[in-house]
Amino acid sequence: MARVYNFSAGPAVLPESVLEEAAAEMLDYRGTGMSVMEMSHRSAAFQQIRDEAEADLRELMSIPGNYKVLFVQGGATMQFSAIPLNLKKSGVFDYVVSGSWSKKAFEEAGRFGDARCLASSKDGNFSYVPDVDALAYSSDADYLYICQNETIYGTRYPKLPECDAPLVADVSSCFLSEPIDVERYGVIYGGVQKNVGPAGMAIVVVREDLIPEDDLKDVPIMLQWRTYADNDSMYNTPPCYTIYICGKVFKWIKAQGGLEGMKKLNEEKATLLYDYLDSSTLFKPTARKEDRSLMNVPFVTESDELDAEFVKASKAAGLENLKGHRSVGGMRASIYNAMPQAGVEALVDFMRDFEASHA
């Protein structure tokens, strides 16, 4: 069977060349006589895999030396708890709620302190990002939290907040899609299953002075960033195969021209899709224009019945996972780094034909 164009929001499409390379190494990784899935995480072969992955990520993101890179199990959701537990001093946590994922993180932080919602776009069904220039920050906040790209609602921050507290950003669905200035953040983290690799891991990039120096006696050892920082993310058996695939994706991104190259490609794909949506009389994008994501593009027709018909027909045409999130309905095309231009072109062509047949 031919490969489909997979528009899933996560787990998501991976570069074909990465999958082919991993397949070729499945039974025998570079003469070791075993798969990466079988080898000891304490072996020299895996240590090299881990070290190269971190080195390539540091190069791609231009991560300064005073930031630690942590490969952490539990996905991004586990960090909803780890963030307030590791950064807690005053116990005041500022949040901007721009969608489902920042809402979940905000609610989780409330278990551990005084979580304050500075602004929310719930009144617009999260179709926009609150104005960061209008935020009234807490003077004693331990950090300010944002979800930089909301996967479900297809919005991203057009600019970052400016505040005295460390900025913490969930970048799960825009990770490595364009250059960022790491020094603007205290913590950058994301689950890798959307834009970087297989499910089961998060990457946390954290400024060293924000990692608690001492053991947090009331915090489980696996929720403490110090545990990972002091042990090169190998306090216990790490998600070895996920790190291995992520490492290959890092090298693939470097071969595409790094993050500048990825930004150019992603802008071209997003422009193609948004330009069609803006001209269509049948399909309508749902996110405010100035806040639109480059990665996740939600859209609707005039009715739920027509939405369902479109999803069914698109699947038959080899365009998979276009159904919108269960909480909002409609459709959503996730066009991550590994989605080729040809996939977006095929989607737009199909949408044109569908629109013509329903005029």
Classify residue 334 by its DSSP letter: E
Three-state SS across 54-79?
A: HHHHHHHHCCCCCEEEEEEECHHHHH
170 is catalytic: yes
If phi > 0 it is left, if psi is from -120 to 50 it is alpha, else beta; for residue 306 that is alpha
Catalytic residue among 94, 170, 291, 307: 170
Catalytic residue among 101, 248, 269, 291: 101
Of the candidates 355, 356, 351, the one whose C-alpha atom is nearest the C-alpha of residue 5 is 351
- Rounded Cα distance, 303 and 33, in Å: 56
- Rounded Cα distance, 305 and 165, in Å: 47
Determine the angle formed by the axes of helices 16-24 and 240-255, rounding to 10 degrees. Answer: 130
The residue with tokens 């999130």 is: 325
Cα 126 to Cα 154, 288, 300: the distances in Å are 9, 9, 15
Other C-beta atoms lying within 10 Å of the C-beta of residue 20 = 10
Catalytic residue among 88, 103, 194, 323: 194
142 is catalytic: no
263 is catalytic: no
Look up residue 215 and give its amino acid: D
- Rounded Cα distance, 352 and 293, in Å: 22
Do strands 167-170 and 187-191 pair parallel, antiparallel, or not at all (unpaired)? parallel
Catalytic residues: 101, 170, 194
